[in-house]
A = this chain, B = another copy of it.
Amino acid sequence: MNKTTVKPKYKLFTPGPVQVPAYILRELSAKLVYHREEAFGDIYASVRKGLQKLLMTKNEVYVLTASGTGAMETAVANLVSPQDKVLAVIAGKFGERWRELCIRFGAYVDSLTRPYGESVPPIEIERRLLATDTIKCVFTTLTETSTGALNDVKAFGEICHRLNRILVVDAVAGIGADELRTDAWNVDVVVGGSQKALAVPPGLSFISLSERAWEMVAETKRTRYYFDLRAYRRFAAKGQTPWTPAISLYYGLDAALKQITKTGVVKYWKSHEQMAEFVRSSIRRLGLELFPEKPSNALTVIRMPAGVDGSKLVEACKKEGFLFANGQANLRGKIVRIGHMGPISKALMRRALLCFRKHFLKAAGRAS
């Protein structure tokens, strides 16, 4: 394991990809099976079963060789016909990505926008849907990676189900860390990725659809090929993917899912809640404020007080081997994001937070 060429000088505390455990990395170096052969079918079946447990759904889950954005495009390309009306629920960069994708794919997009850091009140979605009968799909985010905010997807699901709209949830950053009960919460479409709470390297994403959503897929008039879900469904029936899959990453995903389902999904959420509480209380003890009003358990986003440049703080900690993430675009330097999506130890997180503390106090001009 130590003969590899690349030797990163830091451990990842970024909100995806995350530090990958050794037992998962090891699986990636296994010899290849052939993807048109039953040995691959067995692995794909095991991965799909594990994902069903993780998502708490009885629906089939399909795995794509693409990053999370590819799975988001898959949802849009298979559900949205040109000139369809959709609602994009936005309070951060990944909500904006839904809007951008839907516009690119020819939809009329209604946007429900809240400032970065807020979560979207369910009542506002209800009002919009009641006011606009023609909205077919609602696109939203479980965990907004750009702000650390969690949305109340359970309430969104209740509303969309009652008003007979399709709810599509980007759970890429949240799945496994934040509670999500796909079927019980009436989520029609959920998309996720390998490199967040599953702690597998990036390169695979996945999508699951309710029967109601599949009915829409059949009617969608929209060009799609690599991301054509009808092909994924046809091939999954014989244990295959339509295009050559990233076999090595399936090995890692299978190992991760086996570990998580052995632990139990609810217990896995709980461990993230405990870690998040630990990080949040350390941050509060420093007199710092959280950026989101309703924080996710996948990452902690900290507002920098006036005079403290988050970018410099991230750079300083990186030099000591702990890589946090900066804010994006307008938030650059104004927030610091600490990911705790993967199965990270409390001892390691404590060291990371001590490093953060030291450099924060220095930057703020206080003694350490």
Contacts and interface: CB of A to CB of B under 8 A. Distances in A.
Contacts of A67: 65, 243-246
A35 B202 CA distance: 10
A247 to B, nearest CB: 6
Contacts of A286: none
A29 B8 CA distance: 12
Contact of A26 (B4, B37, B242): B4
A327 interface: no
Interface in A13-32: 14, 16-17, 19-20, 25-32
Given A28-B28, A34-B14, A106-B223, A246 B249 contact: yes
Contacts of A28: 25, 28-29, 248
Interface stretch (A68-76, A116-124, A128-136, A179-187): A68-76
Interface string A220-242: 00011111000000000000001
B4 A33 contact: no
Given A4-B251, A223-B223, A246 B202 contact: yes
A244 B25 contact: no
A368 interface: no
A3 interface: yes
A31 B17 contact: no
B25 A29 contact: yes
Q: Is the interface of A mostly helix, strand, loop or mixed?
A: loop
A7 interface: yes
Nearest to A201: B248
Interface residues of A, number: 65
A203 interface: yes
Contacts of A101: 225
Contacts of A227: 226
Contact of A247 (B17, B43, B226, B254): B17
B27 A6 contact: yes
B202 A245 contact: yes
Interface in A185-220: 193, 195, 201-203
Interface in A27-63: 27-37, 39, 43
Given A14-B34, A203-B246, A70 B226 contact: yes
B203 A203 contact: yes
A255 interface: yes
Interface centre among A25, A29, A34 (most CB of B within 10 A): A29
A4 B16 contact: no
A66 interface: yes
A105 interface: yes
Contacts of A16: 244
Interface string A271-315: 000000000000000000000000000000000000000000000
B8 A33 contact: yes
Interface of A: 1, 3-10, 12, 14, 16-17, 19-20, 25-37, 39, 43, 65-70, 73, 100-101, 104-106, 193, 195, 201-203, 223-227, 242-249, 251, 254-255, 323, 325
